[in-house]
Amino acid sequence: MNDLTAGRAIRLLRQRRRWRQRDLADKAGVSQGMISSLERGQIDRTPLRTVRAVLDALDANVWLDVWWRGGMIDRLLDERHAALVGTVAGTLTSWNWEVVPELSYSEFGERGAIDLVAWHAGSRTLLIVEVKTELVSVESTLRKLDEKVRLGPKIVGERFGWRPAAVGRLLILPSDRTQRRHVERHAAVLDRAVAIRGRAVRAWLRDPRGPLAALWFVSPTNPAAPRTNPAGAADATAARHRRASPP
């Protein structure tokens, strides 16, 4: 969406509420002139926090879209995500988990895909893994993870016949300074939602007992377990379950 289109969207959203520019300005805490400027598409002259405040007043959001070399930024992001998924899948497989990557679902109007579903047959433990290359929104990440954990037992029961005695949730982030700073900044929320970290995570993954709510920093180039072929292990497990599950 270019600047002119964004300006038109702001104007249409305002008009939909039957607000004057002054009404929107008061709600967002900015001047009427600022609203007029935004609606004319002069986004580049406005601080991003002001744009967010105006859109928030309209119950809308703004997302940044970084464009690089004909759209190759998406490929770079996908490669980083795939590397993390592969590393975690390989590690779990080496610790006797059955791993299914990218398990899609559509339940009661809730749709999405679980990055990794892992099953530990010995303890009948189900693990729902959410992989993020960066922690953009803590609230939306935890809300979506909670949805997947809530629906997970039903999904795997219907598709694979698994009946979990315990369910774990695991949020994966890359092990770099930026993501660690994000976690520290949002510690008040994350320490309550995914409190287990570090060695305690690895200990539980090797010998799962009861539920888990954890955050694990992972480096794609430094797996936490003996080296395997992560992508191959995940693909093989997925293929096995596709053959076993009904169409």
In a domain, 128, yes or no: yes
d(CA 175, CA 188): 20
d(CA 168, CA 14): 44
In a domain, 18, yes or no: yes
Contacts for 21 with CB less than 8 Å, ≥ 6 apart = 14, 32, 35, 36, 39
Same domain, 25 and 83: no
CATH number at 13 reads 1.10.260.40
Q: What is the pTM of this model?
A: 0.64
Cα dihedral across residues 148, 221, 67, 60: positive or negative: positive
Same domain, 43 and 147: no
Based on the structure, what is the number of domains in the chain? 2
Same domain, 37 and 89: no
**Which pLDDT does position 3 carry in this prediction?**
87
Contact 149, 213 (CB under 8 A): no
Same domain, 43 and 85: no
In a domain, 65, yes or no: no
Same domain, 137 and 41: no
Q: Measuring CA to CA, which residue among 206, 179, 226 is closest to residue 118?
A: 206
In a domain, 82, yes or no: yes
Same domain, 136 and 191: yes
In a domain, 67, yes or no: no
Same domain, 7 and 99: no
Domain that holds residue 53: 3-57
From the number of C-beta atoms within 10 Å of its C-beta (0-12, 13-18, 19+), residue 59 rates as exposed
Give the tens place of pLDDT for each residue, 47-67. Answer: 988 999 999 999 988 776 666
Structure tokens at 9: 């969207």
Same domain, 18 and 113: no
Same domain, 29 and 79: no
Same domain, 212 and 154: yes
The pLDDT profile of the chain, 247 residues, written as one tens digit per residue, is 688 998 999 999 999 999 999 999 999 999 999 999 999 999 888 898 899 999 999 998 877 666 665 555 555 567 888 999 999 999 999 999 999 999 999 988 898 999 999 999 999 999 999 999 988 889 999 999 999 999 999 999 999 999 999 999 999 999 999 999 999 999 999 999 999 999 999 999 999 999 999 999 998 765 444 333 444 444 544 444 444 444 4
d(CA 126, CA 117): 7
